[in-house]
Amino acid sequence: MGAGLSALFTGGSLSQLPVRPSLGDLPESCVASIIGYLDPPEICKFATLNRAFRGASWADFVWEEKLPPNYRILFGEVFGSVPVQWGKRDIYTRLCRPHTFDDGTKKVWLDKSTGGVCLSISARGLSITGIDDRRYWNHIPTEESRFSSVAYLQQIWWFEVAGEVEFPFPAGTYSLFFRLQLGRASKRPFGRRICNTEHVHGWDIKPVRFQLWTSDGQYAASQCTLSDPGTWIHYHVGNFVVENSSAPTKIKFSMTQIDCTHTKGGVCLDTVVIYPSKFRERLKHF
């Protein structure tokens, strides 16, 4: 027994011990086939395991499945032609970063987890009745908006907001929302959030009407009473379906409350957002 232990500790028999395979011994092509079933953030996490996973995480065929089918059209619309030396992961990464266009009034990006196209339109990119009269509307700075400012209404009789966007959305079903808040939020020292509801009135008398139209004849409408002062809410306007991803889809939309029997005010208008419809449940928790 002593001789056996001596041989073991001196390495005399280590060369004869079987070597067990590890993850690093897997062929890179095999690893790529496995991680292709993961979400993009998970792929990036597994890339830190070892060299095989790191190399597989750059395989074009892995990211081809994650990109929208019309990704070249999307990239061209937003950035111009795709650099020749770029791989599919480079393209995916670039498209996931919000890109501002149309004089800074719109942003578009891919959702990192799903590859779904998301688009946001700022209040400055909308047509707002009375926006040029500071007695009614003001653009105020805030850290709570992707565009660093929102449109704030003090009081008005005739409330109407409209807008449009034309973009080559990939095929699928999309939902359009207005992001609104009753009250004007601000921060006190030490970061404590407060909301001034002094001008909030008139929204509980009649509902607000939301509408959307698409260039191929689709129409949707909804209405609801604005509520919950101090909370940003995504008000769902409706859904639309894109079938032809090779051509731009034009969407027009509006938000109105035109009952002139009473004034209304104290609302912040941030953005109009378009997300894949499967995101609707996620927005309820924002």
Please give the Cα distance from 153 to 156 (Å, whole number): 8
Question: What domains sit in the chain, N to C, each tagged with a CATH number?
Answer: 26-97 (1.20.1280), 106-283 (2.60.120.260)
Q: With 60 as the cut, is the pLDDT of residue 19 above it? A: no
- State pLDDT tens for residues 107-162: 999 999 899 999 999 999 999 999 999 899 999 999 999 999 999 999 999 999 99
- pTM of the full structure: 0.85
The C-alpha angle with vertex 222 and arms to 74 and 255, in degrees rounded to 5, equals: 70
- H or E stretch at 193: strand 193-196
- State pLDDT tens for residues 165-217: 999 999 999 999 999 999 998 877 777 888 899 899 999 999 999 999 999 99
Residue 10, classified by CB atoms within 10 Å of its CB into exposed (0-12), middle (13-18) or buried (19+), is exposed
Neighbours of 205 (CB within 10 A): 13
Please give the Cα distance from 125 to 113 (Å, whole number): 28
Q: What is the mean pLDDT of the chain?
A: 86
